Amino acid sequence: MPVLGKRGRKRPIAAACVALTVAAVLFWAGCASTPPAPTANAEGIKTVLVLPFVDMAELYGPDEGVRSPISGQAFETGPVEEGACLYMTQQMFTFLEEKTGFTPIPFEDAEGVLEEVMNAHNSIILSRQMVCEVGQRMGVDGVAAGHVYRFRNRVGKAFSVDTPASVAFDVHLLQVSQQKILWSGRYDETQKALSDNLFDFSKFIKRGGAWVTAEKLAAGGLDKALETFPKQ
């Protein structure tokens, strides 16, 4: 993927090691883990159409505050690497196929319907109503629809970067018959050095004390968001 974003000063991860002992004490003594949100029920949902993730920065430009056309939640846009939306779409499809009892339907099967619905509404982006209209025309029970707001790869190497990876996205499961959001997940993170955030000790260890790529940041964020994905 091509590298985007402005170059800044180098920030070696080794500098964070000075704060490791303090971070460990603060983390274990002062941080209570947040219990996951309850898992929604998806009774009656068998087939799920996976729509392609939408590049919101391409539509609205970088460094803009925009709202999700599905949930209304706010995000700040930024650079989106080439291929990022396809990567997220494939990750979502694989999750549905391998880790749930739903039957995922690839977006390629709905390309004609998508074009017809967007033309009919004279819109360049799908609203909640339009997503459900696509689902109805396709005869599916649910639709997974997501948006990418930032997908900036790191500039540098694993232990020394000029610019860290930054990712922001959301994804939703809509119930077609009732035109409602059954589940929503979101993720918004720019990786920070441990010395900048002493309470991120667990992330620091999980990532091997390294500056990760945008793909790894996004994959971890999607895994976290999908912990509460609906069960049949």
pTM: 0.76
Residue spans of the domains in the chain: they are 11-33+45-228
> Within a 10 A sphere around the Cβ of 21, how many other Cβ atoms?
9
Residue keyed to tokens 């589940």: 183
pLDDT in tens, 42-69: 778 999 999 999 999 999 999 999 999 9
Lowest-pLDDT choice from 15-24, 87-96, 100-109, 117-126: 15-24
CATH superfamily of domain region 11-33+45-228? ABC-type transport auxiliary lipoprotein component (3.40.50.10610)
3-state secondary structure 41-65: ECCCCCEEEECCCEEHHHHHCCCCE
Q: What residue type is assigned to position 212 of the chain?
A: V
pLDDT, tens digit, 9 for 90 and up, residues 73-105: 999 999 999 999 999 999 999 999 999 999 999
Supply φ then ψ for residue 38, to 5 degrees: -60, 145
